[in-house]
Chain A
Amino acid sequence: MQSANMLLKKIVRSSVLPVAAQHGMKRDLFPLSRTLSLSLCLKQDNSCKPSEKLDLDAWKKVMKSGLQEEVSEMVSEPQDLSGLAAARETLEMWRIAGKLVPENVSEEQLKTFMECPSKSAKKKYLKFLYLKELYKKNDKRKMEEKRERRLEQQEQTSKTDETKKGPFLCLWASTMDKAYNWRAAQSMIFGQPLVFDMSYEKEMSVREVANTVKQLVQSEGCNRRAVDPFHIHFCNFKDDSLYHREFLKHYKEAWGKLLITVTEQCYTEVFPKDKLIYLTADSPKVMKTFDHNKIYIVGSMVDRNIKTGVSLARAKRLGLETAALPLDKYLLWNTGAKNLTLDQMMHILLTLKDTADWKKALEFVPKRKYHGFVAKPVSELKKTLDLVNTLKLGKRQEEVQKQFAKSYPKK
Chain B
Amino acid sequence: VQPPEKALQSEEWNRLRENFQLPEIFEEVMLNSMIRCNSPTDVAKSLLTHMAKRNGDIAYSVLLKYLTLCVQQGQVSEIRDVYDIMKVRFKILEVGAYNLFIKGLSNSDQWRMALTVLEEAKKIMIPSRTSYESCIKAASCRQEMKLAFELYHEMLAKEVVPTLDVLQSFFDFSRGMKDAELQKELFGILLYLRENQIYPHKTFMRSIKLWFESIPGRNWRGHLTNIKDSGQCPVCTHQLEDSNLTEEEYNNLSERIIRDVIHGTDTFRKTSPQEFEAFQTFVENRLPFDIVIDGLNVSHIKPKRMHCENLLDAINCLAKDNVRLLVLGRKHMLINSSNWKREIMKEMQNKADFFLAENISEDDAFLLYATLRSGKHCKFVTRDFLRDHKACLSDSLTRHLFRKWQRGHQIVLSSMFFSVFSQQPALRYDCVVQTTGDTWHIPYKDVFEEKYSYQVPRKWLCIQQK
Contacts and interface: CB of A to CB of B under 8 A. Distances in A.
B124 A54 contact: no
A57 B91 CA distance: 23
Interface in A72-98: 74, 77, 79, 81, 86, 89-90, 93-94, 96-98
Interface of A: 10-11, 14-16, 31, 34-36, 38-39, 42-43, 54-60, 62-64, 66-67, 71, 74, 77, 79, 81, 86, 89-90, 93-94, 96-98, 119, 203, 284, 308-310, 312-314, 316-317
Given A38-B6, A314-B268, A16 B56 contact: no
B268 A316 contact: yes
B53 to A, nearest CB: 7
A300 B97 CA distance: 45
B42 interface: yes
A305 B270 CA distance: 18
Majority DSSP secondary structure for residues of A touching B: helix
A24 to B, nearest CB: 19
Interface residues of B, number: 51
B266 A313 contact: yes
Contact of B88 (A42, A57, A71, A317): A71
Greatest chain B CB density within 10 A among A31, A62, A203 is at A62
B269 A98 contact: no
B343 interface: no
Contacts of A203: 265
Contact of B49 (A58, A119, A309): A58
A62 B95 CA distance: 25
Interface stretch (B57-65, B424-432, B451-459): B57-65
Contacts of A14: 9, 11
Contact of B58 (A57, A63, A308): A63
Contacts of B59: 96
Nearest to A405: B303
Contacts of A55: 49
Contacts of B7: 54, 56
Nearest to A56: B45
B203 to A, nearest CB: 29
Interface string B252-270: 0000000000000111111
Contact of B52 (A54, A62, A308): A62
Contact of B64 (A10, A56, A97): A97
A316 B93 CA distance: 55
A317 B266 CA distance: 10
Nearest to A315: B268
B334 interface: no
A40 to B, nearest CB: 8
A63 B52 contact: yes
Interface string B3-38: 011111101100100010000000000000000000
A62 B56 contact: yes
Contact of A93 (B57, B60, B88): B60
A317 B12 CA distance: 76
